[in-house]
Amino acid sequence: MIDIQLLRDNPELVKENIRKKFEDQKLPLVDEVLELDQKFRSSKKEGDEIRAKRNSLSKQIGALMGQGKKEEAEAVKAEVKAGAARLEELEKLEAEYQSEIKKRMMVIPNIIDPSVPIGKNDSENVERERFGEPIVPDYEIPYHVDIMESLNGIDLDSARKTSGNGFYYLMGDVARLHSAILTYARDFMIDRGFTYVIPPFMIHGDVVNGVMSFDEMTNMMYKIEGEDLYLIGTSEHSMIGRFIDTIIDEKVLPYTLTSYSPCFRKEVGAHGIEERGVYRIHQFEKQEMIVVCKPEDSMMWYDRLWKNTVDFFRTLDIPVRTIECCSGDLADLKVKSCDVEAWSPRQKKYFEVGSCSNLGDAQARRLQIRIQGDDKRKYFAHTLNNTVVAPPRMLIAFLENNYQVDGSILIPEVLQPYMGGKKVLVPSTK
Domain termination residue (choose one: 53, 74, 105)? 105
Q: How far is CA 407 from CA 182, 207, 277, 397, 399, in A?
A: 24, 46, 19, 15, 10
The answer to whether residue 293 scores a pLDDT higher than 80 is yes
**285 and 163 in one domain?**
yes
In this prediction, residue 124 carries a pLDDT of: 97
Per-residue model confidence (pLDDT) at position 219:
77
Mean pLDDT of the chain: 92
The pLDDT assigned to 83 comes to 72
Contact 414, 166 (CB under 8 A): no
Q: Are residues 77 and 159 in the same domain?
A: no
Residues 101 and 128 in one domain: no
pTM of structure: 0.90
**How many other C-beta atoms can be found within 10 angstroms of the C-beta atom of residue 276?**
12
Better-scored residue on pLDDT, 415 or 85: 415
CA atoms within 13 A on the CB side of 179: 11
Residue 270 has pLDDT above 60, yes or no: no
Locate all alpha helices (DSSP H) within 222-342, ordered by sequence: 235-241, 298-315
User: pLDDT (tens digit, 9 = 90+) per residue, 74-132?
Assistant: 676 677 677 778 888 888 999 999 999 999 999 999 999 999 999 999 999 999 999 99
CA–CA dist 280, 351 (Å, integer)? 12
Confidence of residue 334 (pLDDT cuts 50, 70, 90): very high
DSSP calls for 318-354? --EEEEEPPGGGS-TT-SEEEEEEEEETTTTEEEEEE
Range with lowest mean pLDDT among 222-226, 368-372, 381-385: 222-226
368 part of a folded domain = yes
Choose the final residue of a domain: 105, 140, 163. Answer: 105
pLDDT band, very low/low/confident/very high, at 428 (cuts 50, 70, 90): confident
151 lies in the same domain as 95 = no
pLDDT at residue 362, rounded to an integer: 95
Q: Is residue 38 part of a domain?
A: yes
Asked if pLDDT for residue 142 goes beyond 70, the answer is yes
Q: Is 373 contained in some domain? A: yes
Same domain, 130 and 28: no
**Is 430 a member of any domain?**
no
Least confident of 114-118, 164-168, 240-244, 265-269: 265-269
Sheet hosting strand 320-324, strand order edge to edge: 126-131, 320-324, 336-344, 349-358, 382-389, 283-293, 255-264, 195-197
Which stretches within 67-171 are classed as H helix?
Answer: 70-105, 144-150, 156-162
From residue 66, give the alpha-carbon distance in Å to each of 59, 60, 78: 11, 10, 18
77, 105, 133 - which closes a domain: 105
Report the distance separating Cα 15 and Cα 19, nearest Å: 6
CATH of the domain at 407: 3.30.930.10
Query: Does 153 fall in a domain?
Result: yes
Distance CA 188, CA 182 (A): 10
- Encode pLDDT of 311-320 as tens digits: 999 999 999 9
What is the per-residue pLDDT for 51?
Answer: 77
20 within domain boundaries:
yes
Q: What is the pLDDT of residue 275?
A: 61
> Are residues 237 and 304 located together in one domain of the fold?
yes
Helix (H) or strand (E) holding 126: strand 126-131
Q: Would you say residue 354 has pLDDT above 60?
A: yes
> Do 99 and 145 lie in a common domain?
no
pLDDT of residue 55: 66
Residue 84: how many other CB atoms lie within 10 Å: 12
CA distance 410 to 395: 13
285: pLDDT strictly greater than 80: yes
- The answer as to whether 338 is a domain residue is yes
Same domain (yes/no): 225, 354: yes
Q: Which domain holds residue 22?
A: 4-105
Same domain, 11 and 133: no
Q: Is residue 110 part of a domain?
A: no
Same domain, residue pair 38 and 182? no
Quote the pLDDT of residue 162.
97
Do 308 and 357 belong together in one domain? yes
* Angle value at C-alpha 221, between 218 and 222, nearest 5 degrees: 120
pLDDT for 58 equals: 67
Give the number of domains in the chain.
Answer: 2
Q: Do 275 and 408 have their domain in common? A: yes
Residue 94's CATH number = 1.10.287.40
d(CA 350, CA 352): 7
Query: How far is the C-alpha of 221 from the C-alpha of 78, rounded, in Å?
Result: 54
